Amino acid sequence: MSAPDPIVAFRARRYAVLPAGATSSASQVRMLLWRGGRPPGMPPPTPTPGRVCYASSPPRWEHNAPFGSGRTHTGKVEGRGGRPTRPPISMRCWPSPACAARTCRPMAAGWRGVGRAWGRSPAGSAAPTAGSAAPIRLTALGENTHLVGWSPDSRAVLVAHDRGGDERARLLRVELDRPLAPILLTDAEPEYFLRGGAPTPDGRALIYGANYDFAAGREIAATWLYRHDLTRGVREPIARRARPGGGWPLLNSAGTHVLYTRRDRHPAGTQVWLVGSDGAGDRELFNFGDDVKCAASWFPDGRRILVRADTPTHTRLGVWTLGEDAPVRWLLDDPARNIEAAFVPHGSARIVVLDVRAARGHASLLDPESGEEWPWPAVPGEFLPLAPTPDGS
């Protein structure tokens, strides 16, 4: 379906809850958050046992909005108009760590390409993921702004902001009760590329990567890992990659260990390393071949690690526990599967697995103990479970 000129149509992810026992009826899906506002006559859902939050990117145009630099407020995008000159804008959601505590459920979302970050803040005792509060704009910096994560207490978000699309981002903290007032945490004009930005549980330090030797004051090729003490302004390297490559460092919930990847052995391969958040015990953790890709992420308990590794025919998925002298316990090792991604949401004990079949993502929930798997109901579009609802279900 073509959009009327000068309007650009985009696929906007929407956030919803799915009642327990739902199978294939799209009418059973009720909107939680809709870019551009909830559809007319669609009441906000009320959390009940057996529901789960998920993101949807339906294979049809959802909403028309004027195209332009975009002044964004309360979920509506406004601009000067003009012919569409760029691909559809995507949106992503970050459930807060409070999901694990089952106290409140702020949810942050970012619309790429419009320089805005959005959030959902608590309203009384009601959980915002119930749709009880309208989205609030958190930043209005005018250029590329990306969500990095939440503060440990869920009262603020961390965002990365660059200028002119140079990707040399600076990190800022935005309090939910003080939107549009970001606090600068790193260099205002960085001479390096920054990766990640995970706060320690006490909020006094950040863990991130940067291709910069702060002691020597010069940019380098490889991305080193740093612990940035926010109270003293001191940045101490905790791991030094030998060669360029590797993603964000991942800090566990206890704040004691950091997972990160290296490509020191072969440009086609990836190895997973583990280091203490203080720089102690830096070691290679998973290596399934110098030219083999693998990845790892933390369970919310901060002890177990979800491992994803390539084989010549497929990708397998397993679990390893920190402190135990045991190999990876593989849960999925099936050449017929095409596993694209896997993660464990905050507040959940199950693994979200995303398979690709016929160029579409299909989500399922996997029990890491029993290996039992529950496929996601076959509703229209692509759906990705994000986090349990406020009642813990």
For residue 346, pLDDT beyond 70: yes
135 versus 127: the higher-pLDDT residue is 135
CA–CA distance, 314 with 319 (Å, rounded to integer) = 17
Token pair 């006490």 in the structure block, residue = 202
- Total-model pTM: 0.75
Share of the chain above pLDDT 90, in %: 51
Q: How many CB atoms lie within 10 A of CB 291?
A: 12
pLDDT at 154 (0 to 100): 85
CA–CA distance, 145 with 345 (Å, rounded to integer) = 24
For residue 84, pLDDT beyond 90: no
Q: 203-252+254-299+301-343 belongs to which homologous superfamily?
A: TolB, C-terminal domain (2.120.10.30)
Vertex 268: Cα angle to 353 and 220 (nearest 5) = 105
For residue 27, pLDDT beyond 70: no
67-73 average pLDDT score: 26
Q: Where are the domains of the chain?
A: 1-201, 203-252+254-299+301-343
35 versus 152: the higher-pLDDT residue is 152
pLDDT at 388 (0 to 100): 76
For residue 319, pLDDT beyond 80: yes
